[in-house]
Chains A and B, each alone.
Chain A
Amino acid sequence: MTQSRLSYLQAFPLFAIMLVFLVIPTVMIVAVSFWDYNAFSIIPDFIWDNYDFLLTSPVTWQAYGTTFFYALTSWALTLVIGFTAAYYMAFHLRTTKAQTICFLLATIPFLTSNIIRMISWIPLLGRNGLVNQALLSMGLIDNPLEFLLYSDFSVILAFVHLYTLFMVVPIFNSMMRIDRKLVEAAIDAGASPLQVLTQVIIPLSKSGITIGTIFVFTLVMGDFITVRLMSGGLSASVGVLIYNEITLLQYPAAAAGAVTLLLTVLMMLAILFRFANIREDL
């Protein structure tokens, strides 16, 4: 067998799955977004009504505003926390063993259930939760704080809790590949610790930062479950709108919302991909 034919054969299963479960479903969504529907069924058609309704509804614009607010805030927080944690592991831990242990400690939560990690904030943040109990008993507040749970605060807290890992891992990965001699050279040349950080380490971690940014942005933009659970149904992101339409069986409306969301995410990715070459950064 020739090498190229073998390559095709080896790549085929991946291609087949992506075709059947990614490409065709996406085409399907685009098609259905132009269909008509009534209370009982969806009807093949070609109408602009779904988009017309979507793009002229103030609810949509509000949801996009909320979604961008969540995405930007979560991005800024995960970046600062993730960068600091990665920097600590890469430059302050001296042995590979310590680095491995800390890296594993930070990675393991990513492999457990998101929904359970969200639920686990309830006994801490609720009206009678630990935080309120502690603040009350210390006499710092007279009444329980209401904004802790089912608010924008709890939504963003949950996003940071769930997704900071997606910043830590790629940034740590690119930091580990920085030649330590460059840092030493900078110090020898009289750079202050702050200058080393801003002029050597941050520029050389750029691709990790970009990959982390891509992850956090796309995950938050497409999320519906975190927003639904942690806002107690009080705020609506774009994902929540789509999810609500799905539960109401308004598939063409949901599909139009999904296509719009996809285009928004793809536009943002097109901008972000200019900053990193994923394939060469592995």
Chain B
Amino acid sequence: MNTTGKRPKSFYFLTAFFALFILFLYGPTLTIGILSFQGPSGGLTFPMNGVSLHWYFKLFETQAVGDFGGSLTRSLLLALAVMITTMVISLSAGMAFRKKFRGSGLLFYLTVVSLIIPSILVSLGIGLLFNQAGVEPTWYGSAFGAHLTWTLPFGLLIMFAVFNRFDKSFEAAATDMCATRFQTLRFVVIPLILPSLVGVGLFGFTLSYDEFARTIMTSGSQNTLPLEIFGMTTNVTTPVLYALGTLTTLISFAAIVGTLATLSLLKRRRSRIQAG
């Protein structure tokens, strides 16, 4: 409220509140991160019984905890495919929505419904559809489609926010200088909205990589990583579960940090271009 001067008392109270909120968000995950380094005789809770990488090695012995390597590979490939598809389709649809077209309202509400419809319904519906059509559900087919119904609404909403603030005079200038539609898109529009497009990609990747509910009926006989983890929660009672949790969280974090680094790089390059 005030931009200078003494802080009101409420500021310190709210800072403490916010710090507790952040601790609440991250604390438990950090706890399992620490516990994943238990010694070989350590259990699911504190105290730590020695420190080792034992449970991480266990993770890669396939028979012990199921197919960790295979499910990780599948989840990563699926997430990459979902990421790219989400970026392309959201951009395309975002461009379409800049002009009114017949059915645009319907398509918009359809996409919003896709976001708020219970995931288990989508999963069950797609599973049933594939079964009745006689097509085997697979992680790269039916699960891919199921994940898109979750990532595309986020992508489209972000594109809406972007194009609501987009200055059309850049495009008009390009057209005046005889740029084709494709050239305008390639050299004017995409560079301008690239940071948001990278954000859409991040959402697509991590939402797909961690998605459980929309995968359960749609991935067929081969597990993705979240399904593997869910299976482990019911029958694994060693810190190997924490090792897996920590490792997948680190992969999500790497995706987020990588994206943020890309964004700040883009921002710096842009300010350099504008300065020079």
Contacts and interface: CB of A to CB of B under 8 A. Distances in A.
| A and B associate | yes
Interface of A: 3-4, 6-11, 13-15, 17-18, 20-26, 28-29, 32, 81, 84-85, 87-89, 91-92, 94, 102, 104-106, 108-109, 111-117, 119-124, 126, 128-130, 133, 161, 164, 180, 183-184, 187, 193, 196, 214-215, 218, 221-225, 229, 239, 242-243, 246, 251, 254-255, 258, 261-262, 265, 269, 278-279, 282
15 contacts: A15-B103, A22-B113, A24-B129, A28-B125, A29-B128, A88-B17, A102-B18, A109-B29, A116-B245, A128-B45, A215-B116, A218-B116, A239-B118, A239-B120, A279-B108
A222 B120 contact: yes
Contacts, number: 252
B156 A14 contact: yes
Given A84-B14, A261-B121, A25 B128 contact: yes
Contacts of B128: 25, 28-29, 32, 251, 255
Contacts of A10: 92-93, 95-96
Contact of B157 (A222, A224, A282): A282
B161 A130 contact: no
Main secondary structure, interface of B, reads helix
A114 B212 CA distance: 9
CB-CB nearest 8 A-B residue pairs: A222-B118, A25-B125, A10-B96, A120-B28, A11-B96, A21-B145, A14-B93, A116-B245
A116 B33 CA distance: 11
Contact of A262 (B24, B90, B93, B118): B118
A30 B212 CA distance: 23
Interface string B125-161: 1101100100000000000011011001000110011
A272 B164 CA distance: 24
Nearest to A18: B110
A282 B196 CA distance: 14
A183 B132 CA distance: 59
A116 B117 CA distance: 23
Contacts of A124: 27-28, 31
Contacts of B15: 88, 92
A278 B112 contact: yes
Given A120-B245, A215-B116, A11 B101 contact: yes
A8 B96 contact: yes
A123 B260 contact: no
Contact of A115 (B108, B112, B121, B229): B229
B180 to A, nearest CB: 12
Interface residues of B, number: 90
Interface string B85-115: 0001110110111010111100110111110
A11 B110 contact: no
A117 B255 CA distance: 17
B215 to A, nearest CB: 11
B153 to A, nearest CB: 9
A106 to B, nearest CB: 7
Interface of B: 1, 3, 8, 10-11, 14-15, 17-18, 21-22, 24-29, 31-32, 35, 44-46, 88-90, 92-93, 95-97, 99, 101-104, 107-108, 110-114, 116-122, 124-126, 128-129, 132, 145-146, 148-149, 152, 156-157, 160-161, 164, 202-203, 206-207, 209-210, 212-213, 216-217, 226, 229-230, 233, 241-242, 245, 248-249, 252-253, 255-256, 260
Given A10-B92, A14-B152, A112 B112 contact: no
A88 B121 contact: no
A239 B213 CA distance: 11
Main secondary structure, interface of A, reads helix
A279 B161 CA distance: 9
A243 B128 CA distance: 14
B101 A22 contact: no
Contact of A21 (B112, B146, B255): B146
Given A258-B124, A265-B116, A282 B161 contact: yes
A225 B121 contact: no
Contacts of A269: 116
Q: Which of B15, B32, B103, B216 has the most C-beta atoms of chain A within 10 angstroms of its own C-beta?
A: B32
A128 B35 CA distance: 14
Nearest to A196: B1
Contacts of B212: 113-115, 225
A188 to B, nearest CB: 12
A18 B89 CA distance: 12
Contacts of B230: 115, 225
B121 A222 contact: yes
A25 B122 contact: yes
A8 B101 contact: yes
A222 B119 contact: yes
